[in-house]
Structure 1
Amino acid sequence: MKCTVAELIFDYLEQQGIDHIFGVPGLVLEPFLAACRKKGTITPILAKHEEGAAFMADGYARVKGLPGVCFATSGPGVTNLISGVAGASLDGIPLLVFSGQIPTFTNRKGTLQDSTGVGIDSVKIFETICKSSMVLSSPHAAEYDLRSSYIHAMTGRKGPVHLSLPKDILMETIEISIIEEPFTPPVAEYFDRKRVIEATRELCIAEKPAMLVGSGAVASGASQEIVELAEMFRIPVATTPKAKGAFPEDHPLALGVLGLGGSPLAECYIKSSEIDVLLVVGSSLNQISTFSWDPAILPSKTLININIDPTIININYTADIPLIGDAQTVISEISFRALRYLDEQEEMIEKRYADFQREKQHQNMVVDPEKMMSDQVPIKPQRLIFDLQNGLPKDAILFSDVGSHLLWALHYLKMTRPGQFIAPFGLLTMGFGTAAPIGGKLAAPDRPVVAIVGDGCFGMNGMEIATAVNYNLPIVWIVMNNSMLGLIHAFQSLSLGEDTILTRFRRIDFAKLAGSLGAVGITITEPGELARLLPEAIASGKPTVFDCLIDPDEKPPITSFATGARDYAARTLH
């Protein structure tokens, strides 16, 4: 079969099940976009900025389970993609990043927006933040390069790959062999049988075990297996911030989130010095989930760590029993082998559960729970999250941007499904929450998609609301408006008091701004309004922005995280 290299790309993407791509055009991308229009099976989405396009591709990938595809022209198009692609890389999100390139016959001649090394070198730029980065240097190798890039993105720890597309190579006609079946990543079902047996015994005879579930468990689809193991042996379970919802937060064994914005119950229980065995599933145990690597996280006897990536399994804490492999496979094997311990441990299991329920009566999962019911105006952020909880459909996908609103959501929301709560924890990039839900909605058109963002975040990528309007995407954005960069303000106030630096600005009327972009804009000033109006906004089928005026004097729950960072500095520097 004969086709151009550009047409080959879209044939391949279509075969993999990809139906939307995101970007901003440029002159060198003309053959690429012409092939997209000619094929007619994949819809290109025009973003307002390339960073927004990368975020949209990221949101699409997280919800769809396939690589998100973003594209940009050479030069500034490349550099504008960087933050979005870097965030996806740190979060292990598969992206196919296509950047346009000048024709090969004009290389190194000072051509406009040259990205071959005379201007900038797009391949080298992306090498540092992608699993692979290459230029399509030959039409004859294009099919191989495309396939290998896709496989690389989707195997092992997933992540972005980059292909630079010279304009003349895209236009070349080639003979190709069409793949009839989409690529299915091989399942990493391996495990170390001897260590699994050892880990199972340690877990089952433990007097006070606990589990910490990370995002790797979500990626492997291990959430149900974790629930079953926890219920079998009555093991309390915390999640990392990134894995919020991987273990249902309304479950009797739930501790909530451990770490940044997390649950006092999880912190007190895991750091109690009474935990003898801690089973960690799919977490690198990084700063945001360990209060800056607090030694109190370590159990008194055995740390068991399951991770598919052998390079990070011992990077922050040394596991007594490291289990390299797929989380779902390893947890299933542990559960199978644990059955033989059930009868002999029955009395201890029931005692453990009774003790845990008594502990929960003395330690809340949130601080200041009374503020969730406050009728004060301006609205307490705790109350706004309570109203969000009451108005949010159970099947909704909730995106969060980065700022104090992320901590409010981590702390006060209860998530019950894996993958239901999405935020860019790897790079903590502001602006994600206005753009990424667009990709998420296109990946799951039948599910409600809601985003919670800060006023500072909205100022960065808020123009992407016009993108949702342009494509009739009924997404709801909830802006927590306190006229400041709330998280930076909160951290600065710990050392500077209220005399903070560059954290405040004049109030922006986001409802009016949304209206000017073609969306519905609604100002929320009273407690209870959001809970009542959110279901109506979702049912309306229109892009909607809620401008929620919240109390600027409320500080997000950062005390434990800030204390951990201070203590780590003291341990390290003195």
Structure 2
Amino acid sequence: MTTTSLIHYFLAFLESLDVTPIFLVPGATLDPLVQALAEDQSLKAVCCSHEVSAGYMADGYSRVTGKPGIMAVMGGPGASHAMTALLTVKTEQIPLLLVTGDVDSKLADLHAFQNPGPALLNQSAWLEPLMLKSWRIQDPAEAPKILAQAQTCLKAWPAGPLHLQIPVDLWEKPLEADLPALKLTITETPPLSPERIRQLGDKLKSSVKCALWVGSSLKASLAAPQLESLANSLQIPVITSLRAKGLLPENHPLSMGVFGFGGNSRAEQLLLSEELETLVVLGVRPSERNTLSWHADLLTGKRSILWVDQTTQPQWAKAFPQLEVISANPNAILEALATQIPPLPESLRAQRLAWLKFIKERPAKLQPPERETLATYFKLLRQAIEPTAPVFVDAGLVKRNAGSLWQALQPDTFYISSEVGAMGWAIGAGIGAAFAQQKPVVVLTGDGSMRMQGTEISTAALHRLPILFVVFKNGTLGSVAQRLAESPSSQSLLQLPPIQWTVFAKSLGVPAQQVNSPADLANILAEKQVLKGPFLIEILLPISDSQAPERAVPRLERPEHPGYLSRPSEQDL
């Protein structure tokens, strides 16, 4: 046994997780932790402008490293500010530990200022739905057991946010315990039988017109080479969800791009065509965005559809009766298919190659001419940025445009908030990613998102992080303006103040330049120092140039109609 203090035991716990930095917003109930972190040489602390930004940074750090993100804020108002970030990591299964400071334990049942306890703010009640698990340390002797449980939960699946609440007077109390050691917990899903794997392989080889649709439940570092091997062996076209964009490099001849929100016409033509005979879905959640609002043509015809995901729920089969649903680890299934299924017979291979040639030569849907300039901007950025650089994309039109116009050339390089999509998420998440690896990071955002989280670029300036912020400025809330295009009176309400983001950025210590044409952007990108960052590029767009085309989504109001997919109820999902 070692005699130490709760705070030093907690710092050793953080070191055992092999994570740094800790993203925080200081407050009175965190003073002992802030002081200890400032004195500690092995852990880095980052002071953020806002609690939700601290959560987004921890989120981005976790996404690029696979390690838990750590954030610390004061209880009460600090925790309430962080809730959108907590909602994001909960729904998108990102491991994160939230540490909140609490008032002195002797004041827990009194109306102390900013008391997060039930006597005043009742913090536990409104945080509980967002947490996988929450603990409040009431005695330092409880810390070893509680932190061991937290350590296990942070390494387990499904991932998500955990909460640790510590009263300010306990931080420096003595504690006798051995320092924590790293414990890895790997949750395995029972594998499918060899016979079942063979059946899946037969399904992929039973028809000429067959496709793979893959999603973010596949762990890219493991799945990417296996996916490419399987696609090459079977000459099978691959479609991805937006969050899995780049899992098969989009310059690969078998990549059909993204289906769903931000998707492209080639993927839509393939996945919604009546000619498709077999579709195998690995790791895609049948959510509204992934399925183009449960597109009515997705399950039409006589196609055979097999949906495999580790988080598949029994309700899916009820909501989507046309599916053959298998609850299994899609990573294990992909590995088995890639290593155990023999290549196509020559006769079937020749037929599939002919079908692939037909798919690629089929005319794509025409895009509005005004989008050509926007496409040129994305192409210039793609040419200037290293293929391995992480790109974080914000909510709104920039996400829809990036889905179809940005070419992801490597797995684990395209990051979005797929389920919550809070505006400004990419700014904080990109900063967190830059702390993780100290190599160039790109943030694609809009002027609406900058109004919400733009001040956080000052953190990038303070720490001289290699981030390129690209702001697509159209002067309006573009997604809403597009939906309300038939309502002229609404457009004036949606107009944004004419903020010059270059001036704003420079006032926060970030060099910036404005772009009025593709030639301007090409000249700026030729100056290599802009990619060493931090640097901000403000691209001025007319509203019409920034709008991705809205998809006409056929939906069926009568669920009994055969061959169509009705919108499932909230209970079903």
Instruction: Tell me by how many angstroms 1:276 deviates.
Output: 2.0
Matches within 5 A, 1:196-215: 196-215=197-216
Q: Does 1:463 align with 2:455?
A: yes
Q: Contact (CA 8 Å) 1:397, 1:449: kept in 2 or not?
A: yes
C-alpha change, 1:311 and 1:133, in structure 2 (3 Å) is farther
1:351 aligns with 351
What residue identity is the alignment partner of 2:88? G
Counting aligned pairs with the same residue, the percent is 24
Corresponding residue number in structure 2 for 1:13: 14
Q: Give the match for residue 108 of structure 1.
A: 109
CA distance in 1, matches of 2:363, 2:127: 47
* Cα deviation digits, residues 490-534 of structure 1 (max 9, x gap): 1121x4257436311232100011111111011111213323423
- C-alpha contact (below 8 Å) 1:123/1:135 kept by paired residues: no
Aligned counterparts of 2:220 and 2:74: Cα–Cα separation in 1:
31
Post-superposition offset of 1:108: 2.1
Q: Which amino acid aligns with 2:347?
A: E
Asked if residue 163 in structure 1 is aligned to residue 164 in structure 2, the reply is: yes
> Residue 547 of structure 1: SS of its match in structure 2?
strand
Task: Identify the residue that residue 330 of structure 1 maps to in structure 2.
Answer: 333
**Is 2:418 the counterpart of 1:419?**
no
> What secondary structure sits across from 1:55 in the alignment?
helix
Q: Evaluate the alpha carbon distance shift between residue 569 and residue 515 of structure 1 in structure 2; reply closer, same or farther with a 3 A threshold.
A: farther
Unaligned runs of at least 5 residues, structure 2: 560-565, 568-573
TM-score (norm 1): 0.92
Give the structure 2 partner of residue 524 of structure 1. 515
1:503 aligns with 2:502: no
Matches within 5 A, 1:275-290: 275-290=276-291
Looking at structure 2, the residues matched to 318 and 226 of structure 1 have their Cα atoms a distance apart, in angstroms, of 27
The secondary structure found in structure 2 opposite 1:217 is coil
User: Whole-Å Cα distance in 2 between the matches of residues 242 and 570 of structure 1?
Assistant: 31
The Cα offsets for residues 519-558 of structure 1, whole Å up to 9 and x where unpaired, read as 1011111213323423635566331111111121235334
Aligned partners of 2:235 and 2:159: how far apart in 1? 33
Q: Give 3-state SS (helix, strand or coil) of 1:290's partner.
A: coil
Q: Is the 8 A contact 1:191 1:323 kept in 2?
A: no
Q: 1:353 to 1:72 in 2, by over 3 A?
A: same
Find the aligned partners of 1:186 and 1:538 in 2 and give their Cα distance.
42
Is residue 537–residue 544 contact of structure 1 (8 Å, CA) maintained in 2? Answer: no
What is the letter of the counterpart of residue 367 of structure 2? Answer: D
Count of residue pairs the alignment pairs up: 558
Matches within 5 A, 1:219-258: 221-258=222-259
Equivalents in 2 of 1:403, 1:277: separation in Å?
33
Deviation at 1:368, TM superposition (A): 2.6
Which residue in the other structure is 2:54 paired with? Answer: 53
C-alpha contact (below 8 Å) 1:400/1:422 kept by paired residues: yes
1:396 to 389, 398, 409: 389
Bigger drift between 97-106 and 532-541 goes to 532-541
The question of 1:550 aligning with 2:541 is answered: yes
Structure-2 change in CA distance of 1:232 and 1:191 (3 Å): same
CA contact (8 A) 1:306 1:313 kept: no
Q: 1:322 to 1:334 in 2, by over 3 A?
A: farther
Residue 188 of structure 2 is matched in structure 1 by: 188
- The 4+ residue runs of structure 1 with deviation greater than 6 A are none
- Matches of 1:107 and 1:203 in 2, distance apart? 61
- State the TM-score, normalizing by the size of structure 2: 0.92
- For 2:314 and 2:456, locate their aligned partners in 1 and report how far apart those are by CA, in whole Å: 36
Q: Contact 2:524 / 2:530 at 8 angstroms: preserved in 1?
A: no
Name 2:571's counterpart in structure 1: none
- The range that moved more, 523-532 or 498-507, is 498-507
- SS state at 1:178 partner: coil
Question: Which runs of 5 or more residues in structure 1 are unaligned?
Answer: 375-379
Matched letter for residue 381 of structure 2 = L
Structure 1 residue 51: Cα displacement:
0.6
- SS of aligned partner of 2:297: helix
Question: CA offsets per residue over residues 432-482 of structure 1, 9 Å max, x none?
Answer: 12211110001111x210101000100101100111111111211000011
- 1:300-379 equivalences in 2 (<5 Å): 300-311=302-313, 314=316, 317-318=320-321, 320-339=323-342, 342=343, 345-364=345-364, 367-368=366-367, 374=372
Post-superposition offset of 1:50: 0.5
Structure 1: how far apart are the matches of 2:304 and 2:489? 44
* C-alpha spacing 1:367/1:438, structure 2 compared with 1 (3 Å): farther
> d(CA) in 2 for partners of 1:185 and 1:419?
23
Alpha-carbon distance, 1:293 to partner: 1.2
2:562 paired residue number: none
